[in-house]
Amino acid sequence: MKNKVQLITYVDRLTGGGFNALKAMLEGPMQGLFGTVHALPFFPPIDGADAGFDAIDHTTVDRRLGDWADVKTLSTGTDVMADMIVNHISAQSAPFQDFLEKGAASEFAEMFLTYGKVFPEGATEADLMAIYRPRPGFPFTKMRFGDGTQHLVWTSFTEMQIDIDVKSTQGAAYLDRIFDAFKAGGVSSIRLDAAGYAIKKPGTSCFMIPETYEFLGELAQKAKARDMDVLVEIHSYYQDQIDIAKRVDRVYDFALPPLVLHALYTGDAAPLANWLEISPRNAITVLDTHDGIGVIDAGAATDGRPGLLTPSQIDNLVETMHEKSGGTSREATGAKASNMDLYQVNSTYFDVLGQNEAAYLIARAVQFFVPGIPQVYYVGLLGGTNDMELLRRTDVGRDINRHYYGAGEVEAALATPMVAELCDLIRFRNTHPAFEGEFTLNVLSSSVLELVWENGEARAVLSVDFATKAATVRHAAGTGTEERFVIGG
């Protein structure tokens, strides 16, 4: 995986078109910005119940975006990452519809999970209460089968996303077909989506249990055999990320976004500094994503182990996010706007910083200087704000940060001073030789940090005072004179 900034985007929502339009954009107004593009689910239907994460056919490209030949053409200029949706498949998929019609007689019967399959002897109250789910209630949906009988089908997320028995012969073969389709289509990196929920075992939380770690290791080996890198997407206790990082190529640093916000809100950089001392070095760093801004990743574990932030700090963080966004994030979070995810606030990162351009650019500079490879979400790249019109139209909380850019909007955003400075920061991160070296953190006070990269005589230093929201970069590419620039100045 290239040590360059990555773009994560819905193909159609950024370009208004398909893969060919994305290629033209990356080679035109965004030339030199990204070493990898993570194309969010481009399988049919891209406009389904969960914006492509409820794939009907995970091995094909939605025709509105193009085909595998177009994906492969894109990959000749920019590395491509794609989502392997490990845990589930659409309720409208042919295999599940066959199972729904024929029941146990279906050739796909073993591919799906029901209450009875996981709990053949029945479940106790304790068994059911132990199951972890990111939304209220239990992960089952009552469905009527072709013979008139009703069964509880396992649905971790929504009733349109049917959980797969990944340990079954059919389930394993299904995932293998996705691997092969990706490889043939020019995909070089795979993000394992919702993989933490993939293994179900009676008497456990069915989330990130020991068998899950073994399964993730198996998937990583399958990807490696095809010369593909693996990124794991899991919102969980921070120690889980450290443990997962030992088994795969890359893991998300989901603790970074709330810790940066906490530092900018309070001037207290100690929790961020503590994390940077132990955070996985093989991370993909983010501030914003197609989902919300996670807070669980900085919080305490369900068994009581302390988090990177205390419960009161988490509460203050969330309330400040809503306040800074002018209350718009509150309309898209929790039980609002059909959003039931318990661990995130839905908003653009720019909005939860009160649309303060200097603070936003400082946050991005921190992201680019911490260990890992930075990934920038398309709305964040363009300094987007909360799309209240789309939210009200769809009543889907996460749509507040999933804007559809129309003709001329991208070019107009790229021309603004803030976005132009952000693009300069991206190019600096991509090209300065210091970032191929070693990272050091200097804690100068409770509010002032220095993030240092050194590679031989090349050096780059980001100094941030979170209390005054002031930041500068000092750098030298070799034996030449050290240069300096101010962030958001």
Known catalytic residue: 193? yes
The predicted structure's pLDDT at residue 342: 54
Alpha-carbon gap, residue 185 to 205, rounded angstroms:
36
H-type alpha helices, 185-310 = 210-225, 238-245, 256-266, 270-278
Which of 54, 193, 351, 421 is the catalytic position?
Answer: 193
- Please write down the long-range contacts of 180-185, taking CB distance under 8 Å and 24 or more positions apart: 180/226, 181/58, 181/59, 181/60, 181/68, 182/82, 182/84, 182/226, 182/228, 183/226, 183/227, 183/228, 184/68, 185/61, 185/68, 185/71, 185/72, 185/75, 185/82
341 is in an annotated binding site: yes
Alpha-carbon gap, residue 450 to 468, rounded angstroms:
15
E strand residue ranges, 324-387: 344-345, 373-377
Average pLDDT over residues 326-350: 78
Bridge partners of 83, per DSSP, are 191
Alpha-carbon gap, residue 40 to 233, rounded angstroms:
13
180 has a pLDDT exceeding 90: yes
DSSP 8-state code for residue 462: E
> Which candidate, 99, 6, 91, 18, places its Cα nearest to that of 53?
91
Per-residue pLDDT band at 335 (split at 50, 70, 90):
low
Q: What percent of the chain has pLDDT over 70?
A: 98
DSSP 55-105: -S-TTS--TTT--HHHHHHHHTTSEEEEEEE-SEEETTSHHHHHHHHHGGG
CB–CB of 295/317 below 8 Å? yes
Known catalytic residue: 253? no
Rounded to 5°, angle at Cα 463 from 461 and 465: 170
342 is in an annotated binding site: yes
338 has a pLDDT exceeding 50: no
191 is in an annotated binding site: yes
The predicted structure's pLDDT at residue 340: 42
Bridge partners of 90, per DSSP, are 161
290 is in an annotated binding site: yes
**Alpha-carbon dihedral sign for residues 279, 330, 414, 53:** positive
Average pLDDT over residues 392-420: 94
Q: Are strands 229-233 and 189-193 parallel, antiparallel or unpaired?
A: parallel
**Burial of residue 446 (number of CB atoms within 10 Å: 0-12, 13-18, 19+):** middle
193 is in an annotated binding site: yes
Alpha-carbon gap, residue 320 to 339, rounded angstroms:
20
372: left (phi over 0), alpha (psi -120 to 50) or beta: left
Bridge partners of 374, per DSSP, are 285
The tokens describing 349, both together, are 């990162």
138: left (phi over 0), alpha (psi -120 to 50) or beta: beta
Alpha-carbon gap, residue 214 to 371, rounded angstroms:
26
Q: At which residue do the structure tokens 């990130």 appear?
A: 208
Per-residue pLDDT band at 230 (split at 50, 70, 90):
very high
Q: Is 440 helix (H, G, I), strand (E, B) or coil?
A: strand
The tokens describing 106, both together, are 């279906």
341 has a pLDDT exceeding 70: no
336 has a pLDDT exceeding 60: no
Which of 79, 233, 240, 297 is the catalytic position?
Answer: 233
Q: What percent of the chain has pLDDT over 90?
A: 84
Alpha-carbon gap, residue 324 to 318, rounded angstroms:
10
**Burial of residue 107 (number of CB atoms within 10 Å: 0-12, 13-18, 19+):** exposed
The predicted structure's pLDDT at residue 339: 44
For residue range 276-331, list pLDDT tens digits in order: 999 999 999 999 999 889 888 999 988 889 999 999 999 999 999 999 999 999 99
pTM score of the predicted model: 0.94
The predicted structure's pLDDT at residue 337: 44
For residue range 106-164, list pLDDT tens digits in order: 999 999 999 999 999 999 999 999 998 877 789 999 999 999 999 999 999 889 999 99
Torsion of CA 20, 22, 26, 29, to 10 degrees: 100
End-to-end CA distance of the chain: 33
Could you give the C-alpha distances from 374 to 58, 85, 426, in angstroms and in order? Answer: 27, 22, 9
CB–CB of 123/129 below 8 Å? no
254 has a pLDDT exceeding 70: yes
For the chain, domains (ranges, CATH) are: 6-86+169-435 (3.20.20.80), 94-162 (3.90.400.10), 437-486 (2.20.220)
**Mean of the per-residue pLDDT values for the chain?**
94
403 is in an annotated binding site: no
For residue range 189-222, list pLDDT tens digits in order: 999 988 899 999 999 999 989 999 999 999 999 9
49 vs 171, residue with greater confidence: 171
Which secondary structure element, helix H or strand E, spans residue 465, and what is its range? Answer: strand 458-465
387 is in an annotated binding site: no
Could you give the C-alpha distances from 253 to 89, 117, 349, 474, in angstroms and in order? Answer: 26, 35, 16, 25
Radius of gyration of the chain (CA): 22
